[in-house]
Amino acid sequence: MTTISSDFDVESVRRDFPILHQRLLGDVPLVYLDTAATAHKPRSVVAKVVECFEQYNSNVHRGIHQLGDRMTTELELAREKVQHFIGAGSSDEIVFTSGTTMSLNMVAHGWARKFLKPGDEILLNSMEHHANLVPWQLAAAATGASLKYIPLTDDGRLDLTTLDQLLTPRTKLLAVTAMSNVLGTINPVAELAERAHAVGALICVDAAQSVPHLTTNVRSPQIDFLAFSGHKLYGPTGIGVLYARRQLLEAMDPFLAGGHMIREVFLDSSTWADPPAKFEAGTCPFIEAVGLGAAIDYVQHIGLSQISHYEHLLSVRAHEQLAQVPGVKIHGPSVEHKGAILSFTVDGVHPHDLSDLLDRRGVAIRAGHHCTMPLHELLNLTATARASLAFYNTMEEVDALAEAVRAARQVFRLK
Ligand code: 7TS
């Protein structure tokens, strides 16, 4: 077995997450291995949200009283934190949305529907989450553009051998996840961006799974659109981000219309405010945005490279431990090509039964198609069990997962 060494102080980190210290039915400790679905929130994020509600809750960008000014200042500070966290050139390129899904829909509506025409192509692949597939299907249907797919290798990576044939001057957009929420595959975004740009296409990156675990820089490589969710980044629900280059935000149509996103309104027409306001119609989730800013502070305080390193060690251990359980198949690439997400099947045990049995031991995993039906079709499976790890997990919890899977097999009397 690989020697695992890390000076990462996981016990100190865990003290920041009160939810982790509970016992569940049967007096078993919680082993939370479902961070890819949503991450827990450190005390500092909860405290910041409480501070907002208790001390200066007030609607933003109205500029009429002291509470409103304070809340607006906090919101714009959070926007700057996001900007620096992902390496954007300006905070005006940071649009607050409700999450990854809305961010991607914003591009599909505001950019794709405006600029695509029959004959144009959008290049996708079948490991994408539905949030990075279905909006493009609708945009293609509305514009007459067509969808093309980069094939996958047997081990669940993008097969780039056909990329030269697939990427042509007809390609207008390449939409790709930076990290698969099922296979854990880390996709070569830098190479894809460069090759897409070489044919004049734009790249849209679904960073929902990568932003919490890997360093992101939207200017190196140059990314055109990038989407992620606050709740997977240890922040509140209901807040997400769309990053887009300023020229694209200026060229795109707004997604939602109403208050705040306008410059002037007449009875028969309107003009738009500058980005990001143009894309933030109505009252934005300003307290959630401030909570996201606090989450970014927290992650940066620990350090993303520390986080990535420790999570990789957890992932190595999890792969080794699970691989030793008879009948277990882990889907996706080998551990060096992926983030700390393990989707697996156990011969003779349905993933839903497995997750139910694991839950009785306090081990929380997810079972199902994880919003990737085309990927599961390709794997010839209807469902997988998925354990997803974060820096607040311990080696002991990883061992508890493997132990619980062994025990589940025994319930089914599997040899
Ligand atoms: N893209 C990826 C890669 C995701 O993993 C998810 C959510 C989304 C987009 C959508 O994010 P949302 O915040 O807008 O919902 N993925 C999962 C998951 O794997 N289990 O639950 C949610």
Domain-by-domain residue ranges, the chain?
A: 10-32+303-411, 46-301
The answer, yes or no, to whether any atom of ligand 1 lies below 6 A from the CB of 34, is: no
pLDDT score at 186: 98
The answer, yes or no, to whether any atom of ligand 1 lies below 6 A from the CB of 213, is: no
Are 281 and 259 in contact by the 8 Å Cβ rule? The answer is yes
Instruction: Give the mean model confidence (pLDDT) for residues 167-195.
Output: 98
The answer, yes or no, to whether any atom of ligand 1 lies below 6 A from the CB of 209, is: yes
Burial 259-277 (b: 16+ CB within 10 A, else e): ebbbeeeeeeeeebbebbb
Instruction: Give the mean model confidence (pLDDT) for residues 322-350.
Output: 97
Give SS3 for 14.
helix
Ligand 1 centre from 139 Cα, in Å? 20
| Segment holding 32, helix H or strand E | strand 31-32
126-152 pLDDT, tens digit each: 999 999 999 999 999 999 999 999 999
Ligand 1 centre from 133 Cα, in Å? 12
Rounded alpha-carbon distances, angstroms, from residue 138 to 104, 166, 377: 12, 21, 21
Convert 167-202 into a string of H (helix), E (strand) and C (coil).
CCCCEEEEEEECECCCCCEECCHHHHHHHHHHCCCE
Whether 371 is catalytic = yes
Mean pLDDT (the chain) is 97
The answer, yes or no, to whether any atom of ligand 1 lies below 6 A from the CB of 40, is: no
- Report the percent of the chain where pLDDT is more than 90: 96
* Tokens matching residue 47: 């405290």
Q: What is the pTM of this model?
A: 0.97
Ligand 1 centre from 264 Cα, in Å? 36
The answer, yes or no, to whether any atom of ligand 1 lies below 6 A from the CB of 208, is: yes
Are 135 and 108 in contact by the 8 Å Cβ rule? The answer is yes
Are 232 and 35 in contact by the 8 Å Cβ rule? The answer is yes
Question: Does residue 1 carry a pLDDT above 50?
Answer: no
The answer, yes or no, to whether any atom of ligand 1 lies below 6 A from the CB of 129, is: yes
**Nearest atom within ligand 1 for CA of residue 388:** 19
**Nearest atom within ligand 1 for CA of residue 102:** 14
258-316 pLDDT, tens digit each: 999 999 999 999 999 999 999 999 999 999 999 999 999 999 999 999 999 999 999 99
* Tokens matching residue 50: 């409480």
The answer, yes or no, to whether any atom of ligand 1 lies below 6 A from the CB of 370, is: yes
364-395 pLDDT, tens digit each: 999 999 999 999 999 999 999 999 999 999 99
Q: How many Cα neighbours within 13 Å face the side chain of 304?
A: 16
Helices 66-86 and 286-302, axial angle in degrees (round to 10) = 40
Mutate to test the pocket of ligand 1, among 100, 180, 189, 370 (most ligand atoms within 8 A of CB): 100
* Confidence grade of residue 5 (pLDDT, cut at 50, 70, 90): low
27-71 pLDDT, tens digit each: 999 999 999 999 999 999 999 999 999 999 999 987 789 999 999
Cβ neighbors of 310 (< 8 A, separation 6 or more) are 6, 8, 10, 391
67-110 pLDDT, tens digit each: 999 999 999 999 999 999 999 999 999 999 999 999 999 999 99
Ligand 1 centre from 354 Cα, in Å? 22
- Residue whose pair of structure tokens reads 């020697």 in the numeric block: 3
Instruction: Give the mean model confidence (pLDDT) for residues 115-123.
Output: 98
User: Which CATH superfamily hosts domain 10-32+303-411?
Assistant: Aspartate Aminotransferase, domain 1 (3.90.1150.10)
Ligand 1 centre from 17 Cα, in Å? 22
Which amino acid is located at 398 in the chain?
V
> 46-301 has which CATH code?
3.40.640.10
Residue nearest atom 17 of ligand 1, based on CA coordinates? 37
